[in-house]
């Protein structure tokens, strides 16, 4: 039996997932440039002060959007940790 309601919900979920992938691809495109800039200028891969500002901002945005701020922080942390990992590789001259 086909469930049209569920199929419609899933269509929307698939669109949102696609948008997330495109947004993440754009974010990683720009953080790649940041990593190269940092490697070239000798800046450290991680900037904990900047991270604190980003996390506070995202937590506040999450609250106004009715999204769990702890989840939002974990999500951003996960992404930033991956970016730092890329930055470290760029700093060591190991891209890819």
Ligand X SMILES: O=C(O)C(=O)C[C@]1(C(=O)O)C=C[C@@H](O)C=C1
Which residues lie near ligand X (CB under 6 A)? 31, 34, 46-47, 50-51, 54, 80, 83-84, 87
In whole angstroms, give the CA distance from residue 18 to residue 90.
28
In the complex with ligand X, the residue whose CB is nearer, 6 or 48, is: 48
Q: Token match 């959007």: residue?
A: 65
In whole angstroms, give the CA distance from residue 40 to residue 23.
26
Q: Token match 């049209």: residue?
A: 4
Question: How near is the Cβ of 17 to ligand X at its closest, in Å?
Answer: 21
In the complex with ligand X, the residue whose CB is nearer, 8 or 57, is: 57
Q: Token match 């999500």: residue?
A: 75
Question: How near is the Cβ of 91 to ligand X at its closest, in Å?
Answer: 11
Question: How near is the Cβ of 58 to ligand X at its closest, in Å?
Answer: 10
């Amino acid at each position: 039996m086909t469930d049209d309601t569920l199929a419609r919900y899933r269509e929307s979920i698939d669109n949102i997932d696609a948008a997330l992938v495109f947004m993440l691809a754009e974010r990683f495109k720009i953080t790649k440039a940041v990593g190269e800039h940092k490697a070239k200028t000798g800046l450290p891969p991680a900037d904990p002060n900047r991270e604190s500002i980003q996390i506070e901002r995202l937590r506040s945005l999450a609250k106004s959007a009715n999204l769990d701020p702890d989840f939002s922080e974990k999500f951003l942390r996960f992404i930033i940790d991956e970016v730092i990992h890329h930055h470290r590789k760029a700093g060591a001259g190991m891209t890819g």
